[in-house]
Amino acid sequence: MSETPTFVTHLECSETGKRYEADTLQGLSETGKPLLVRYDLDALGKSVSKDDLLHRAPEFWRYREFLPIRKAENVVRLGEVMTPILPAPRLQAALGGGEILIKDEGRLPTGSFKARGLALAVSMAKELGVKRMAMPTNGNAGAAMAAYCTSAGIESYVFCPDDTPQVNVREIALQGAHTYLANGYINDCGRVVGEGKEEMGWFDTSTLKEPYRIEGKKTMGLELAEQLGWDVPDIIFYPTGGGTGLIGMWKAFAELEAIGWIGSKRPRMVAVQATGCAPIVKAYDEGSRFSEPWVNAHTIASGIRVPAALGDFMILDAVSESNGFAIAVEDDEINAAQEECAKTDGILLCPEGAATLAAYKAALKSGQVSKDERALLFNCATGLKYPMPEAGGFIDLKQPIDYAAMK
Ligand SMILES: Cc1ncc(COP(=O)(O)O)c(C=O)c1O
C-alpha cells in the first residue's frame, strides 16, 4: 500500500448531520448517535478506476481509497482475504427457489467478518495514538479486536456475557486481551466499558461507538459488488445484531453509485434475527424507526443476541428504503438449516449464517422472496468455532472389521 492520502473530509452525525473533525479521536456525536465517515467522492472517483483494482492484491485493502487510513505504516494486517461467494445449487434445487449465493466470511482472520471492522478500528486507533482499547462482545468481535490489537502493540480489554461460547472466550484471551466474563448481556458489558473509560483510560470500541468499524464492514459491500461484476444481488439476508454490516453495506452501495461504479439498483436488505432476541423485527413490524430493548434475550446464535442496537434507525431505514424486511427465526430452524446446508452443498455455516438460510426458506414459503430473485446470504463466521452434534460410529479394532455394517 502506497502513501495515498485518503479522501476523508469529515465525520458526520448519523442523526443530525452535524460535522465533526476527522483525524482526531471521536466516539459518539453530541446527541449520542454514531458518527459516519464522509469522503470527497468526486476526488475519490477520479483517483481510482475499476481497472486499477485488477492489479491489486485480493484483499480488502484493495479498496484503500474508500477507507480512512492516511499512513500505510498504520495498516494492521493479519491476512485480510477477499471471501468467496459460493453457489449452493443443490440447496437451490431442493428448495425450488431462485439462485442462492453464500458469502463465506469465515475465511477471514479470526474466522469471522468482525475482522473487517476491527482491522479498520485498530488501524485507525494506531494512527490516532491510542494505547488501550476495550469492548463488550458476544465473542467474534472480541477475538478480532484482541488479535489486531496485539499485532498493533495496543493493549486490549474484552468483556463477554458469562455464557459466551468457551471457544471464543479462550481465543480472545489467548490472543492477548485482558478477558472478563460478566453476569449479563452484551449491553451490560458495554456499561462496564463506558463507565470505566476515565479510570482505565481505554478507548471505547463498542459497536458503532466509534466511526471506523462501519468503514471496515463497508468493504463487504464493495467486495461483493466487484465479485458480481459491479452488480448487486436482488436481495441480501444479513444476521443482525448491532447491524454494523448492514449499515456498512448500505453506505458502500451509496458511495459506489456516487462515483458511477454501480447504478441505482439496490439489493433488498433483510435483517435476520432470532425469535428469542428480535428487537429490530419487532420495530419493523410496528412500523417504528427505533427499537425497544429486548427483555430475556436468548438464542443459540450468540452473535445476534443483541438486546438493543445503537444504530437501529439506520438498520430500519436501509431495510425500508430498499423494500426489504426484517424476519425472525426459531433456534430449531437455525439448527435444521445448518445441517441441511452442510449435508446438501458441503458448506458449514455458523448458527448466525444458518439463521439467514432459515429466514430465506421462510421467506420463500411466505412469498416475501420470489423465485426470480438472486439471494445472497451472509455466513459471517466459520462454523468450526461452534458446538456440533456428537457423531461417529465406533469400531472395535480388537474384533474383525464389519464392513458390511457400514454400507
Ligand atoms: C457470527 C456473527 N454473526 C452476526 C453478528 C452480528 O453482526 P452485526 O453486529 O454486524 O449485526 C455477529 C456479532 O457478534 C457475529 O459474531
Query: CB of 381 closer than 6 A to ligand 1?
Result: yes
Q: Say which amino acid occupies 306.
A: V
Query: CB of 29 closer than 6 A to ligand 1?
Result: no
Q: What span, in angstroms and rounded, lies between the C-alpha atoms of 68 and 127?
A: 10
Q: Say which amino acid occupies 173.
A: A
Q: What span, in angstroms and rounded, lies between the C-alpha atoms of 71 and 388?
A: 43
Give the helix/strand (H/E) hosting 137: none
Q: What span, in angstroms and rounded, lies between the C-alpha atoms of 204 and 225?
A: 31
| Protein residue with least CA distance to atom 9, ligand 1 | 242
Give the helix/strand (H/E) hosting 108: none
Give the helix/strand (H/E) hosting 253: helix 244-258
Mean pLDDT of 198-221: 97
| Domain layout of the chain by residue ranges | 95-105+213-385
Q: Which residue has the higher pLDDT, 75 or 389?
A: 75
Q: Is 245 left (phi over 0), alpha (psi -120 to 50) or beta?
A: alpha
| Protein residue with least CA distance to atom 16, ligand 1 | 303
CATH C-level class of 95-105+213-385: alpha beta
Q: Is 70 left (phi over 0), alpha (psi -120 to 50) or beta?
A: alpha
Total residue length of the chain: 407
Lateral strand order in the sheet of 35-39: 19-20, 8-13, 35-39
Residue-wise burial string across 309-342, b where 16 or more C-beta atoms lie within 10 A, e elsewhere: bbbbbbbbbbbeebebbbbbbebebbbbbbebbe
For residue 152, pLDDT over 80 is answered with yes
Chain centroid offset of residue 371 CA: 26
Lateral strand order in the sheet of 100-104: 85-87, 100-104, 375-379, 235-239, 268-274, 325-329
pTM of the model: 0.96
Q: Which of 109, 181, 190 is nearest to 148 (CA)?
A: 109
What are the residues whose beta carbons fall under 8 Å from the beta carbon of 332, sequence distance 6 or more?
A: none
Q: Note whether 94 and 344 are within 8 A (CB).
A: yes
For residue 1, pLDDT over 80 is answered with no
Count the neighbouring beta carbons within 10 Å of the beta carbon of residue 366: 10
Query: 229-248 pLDDT, tens per residue?
Result: 999 999 999 999 999 999 99
Mean pLDDT of 396-407: 95
Please name the residue ranges forming H helices in 48-152: 50-54, 89-95, 114-127, 140-152
Query: CB of 245 closer than 6 A to ligand 1?
Result: yes
Query: 12-45 pLDDT, tens per residue?
Result: 999 999 999 998 999 999 999 999 999 999 999 9
Query: CB of 303 closer than 6 A to ligand 1?
Result: yes
Mutate-to-test residue for ligand 1 from 114, 294, 316, highest number of ligand atoms within 8 A of CB: 114
Query: CB of 138 closer than 6 A to ligand 1?
Result: yes
Q: What span, in angstroms and rounded, lies between the C-alpha atoms of 124 and 70?
A: 9
Residue 392 Cα to ligand 1 middle (Å): 31
DSSP secondary structure letter of residue 78: S
Residue 379 Cα to ligand 1 middle (Å): 10
Instruction: Give me 361's grid cell.
Output: 426458506
pLDDT reported for residue 79: 97
Q: What span, in angstroms and rounded, lies between the C-alpha atoms of 146 and 25?
A: 20
Query: 384-395 pLDDT, tens per residue?
Result: 999 888 999 999
Q: Which of 77, 191, 90 is nearest to 123 (CA)?
A: 77
For residue 299, pLDDT over 60 is answered with yes
Provide φ and ψ at 255, rounded to 5°.
Answer: -70, -40
Q: Note whether 304 and 238 are within 8 A (CB).
A: no
| Protein residue with least CA distance to atom 4, ligand 1 | 303
Rg of the Cα trace of the chain? 21
Helix axes 140-152, 114-127, angle to 10 degrees: 30
pLDDT-based confidence at 4, cuts 50/70/90?
low
For residue 292, pLDDT over 60 is answered with yes
pLDDT reported for residue 3: 61
Q: What span, in angstroms and rounded, lies between the C-alpha atoms of 143 and 114?
A: 8
Q: Note whether 237 and 360 are within 8 A (CB).
A: yes
